[in-house]
Amino acid sequence: MELTLTSPLDMHLHLRDGEMLRTVAPLSARDFAGALVMPNLVPPLTTPEDVRAYKERILDAIGEEAFTPYMTLFFLPEYDYDFLQEVKDDILAIKLYPAGITTNSEGGVENFSLDALAPTLEAMSELGIPLCVHGETNGFVMDREAEFIPIYERIAKRFPNLTIIMEHITTKEAVDALMRFENLYATITLHHLYITLDDVAGGLLRPHLFCKPIAKRPEDRMALRKVAFMAHEKVMFGSDSAPHPRSKKEAPGCAAGVFSAPIALPALAQLFEEAGVLENLQKFVSDNAQKIYGITPPAKEVKLIKEPMAVPERYGDVVPMFAGQTLAWSVDGV
Ligand code: NCD
Ligand code: ZN
């Protein structure tokens, strides 16, 4: 059995910088035609110059592959219309992080009152710049995403022309909220389709499955699977592949992030095949994102074949999801 995907896209990806960038970027560029690259570097990307220079470093790291890095800017409430107009052509979206909620988000938003955010959001709406959101409060870890939903609703209602992407949704509540507003969309990761909190902490602790937002309950996973498997037009694949060196994961204070980029397509094919919906994978990993963002990625065919993939123990110094295990599908030629 085989499946050829046209221009697969990963609409939420952490490529990091320096040595790590050079390790992970070629792996995404090999399997995908493009990705939305997150801005949470240290310091975060907040100027057009930062974004352009980072894009150059990414292009340099991937070499000849047909792969478009779609760039993002780190949301600051002080961005005004003139600034956004200047940066607009260098980015596809702006990513909003609540302050301190995840890796390298210390400079994020503290005050979620609409008054504080309105000028920037108004300008984004006018300029047609989508808003990507890491939607978690700093409440109890299992409730953070659900607690953030009223904030999504306030923004969606006040700015009906603003495209808002609920990043890496993990709960049934988020799926329900997504359906209530025309201008809400969402990314779904590979790991949240596969695992629940039990896989992270129900037996031996699995640091390589620890991420933000934390994986939730079986009924949440079921709600995510339902919309992903039908390739609902409001959802698209975003791996949230977030590499950390082994010393940061296998540590008393484990960094959040699952590294899934190099195994994402085979693992998705396996899951979609098991669910009997392989024919919907093209929409989930490409077509929906093209419509939501209005993008045309490079034409690139990626052939998946139903032949076992032995997942490496490491890529450089990073341990991937399913390390040492065998997946039922592989990317042809990898
Ligand atoms: C991401 C990272 O490491 O940059 N970590 C994660 O657990 N997902 C940040 C993020 O997207 O939250
Ligand atoms: Zn992320």
For residue 249 and ligand 1, the question of a CB distance below 6 A is answered with: no
Taking a 5 Å cut-off on Cβ, the residues next to ion ligand 2 are 240
Atom of ligand 1 nearest to the CA of 255: 3
Per-residue pLDDT at 257: 98
Mutate which of 211, 214, 249 for ligand 1 pocket (most atoms within 8 A of beta carbon): 211
Closest Cα to residue 312, out of 302, 333, 326, 329? 326
pTM, to two decimals: 0.98
pLDDT at 302: 98
The CA distances from residue 249 to 106, 238, 284, 325, in Å, are: 20, 21, 30, 19
What's the CA gap between 305 and 43, in Å, rounded? 41
Predicted pLDDT of residue 112: 95
Tell how far the Cα of 240 is from the centroid of ligand 2, in angstroms: 4
Position 295 scores a pLDDT of 98
* Ligand 2 mean position, distance from CA 256 (Å): 10
Q: Which pLDDT does position 147 carry in this prediction?
A: 98
pLDDT at 328: 98
Between helices 114-127 and 144-158, what is the axis angle to 10°?
60
Counting ligands in written order, the one closest to the CA of 259 is: 1
The ligand with the least distance to the CA atom of 249 is 1
Minimum-distance ligand to the CA of 24? Answer: 1
CA of 212 to the centre of ligand 1 (A): 6
Closest atom of ligand 1 relative to the 168 alpha carbon: 11
14 lines ligand 1 (CB under 6 A): yes
Could you tell me the two tokens for 19? 């040595």
Q: List the domains of the chain with CATH numbers.
A: 2-333 (3.20.20.140)
**What are the per-10-residue average pLDDT scores of the chain (334 residues)?**
98 98 98 98 97 98 97 98 98 98 94 95 98 98 98 98 99 98 99 98 98 98 99 99 98 98 98 98 99 98 98 98 98 95
pLDDT at 187 (0 to 100): 99
Q: How confident is the model at residue 140, as a pLDDT?
A: 98
Pairwise CA distance, residues 133 & 110, whole Å: 14
CA of 1 to the centre of ligand 1 (A): 34
Active centre residues (catalytic): 240
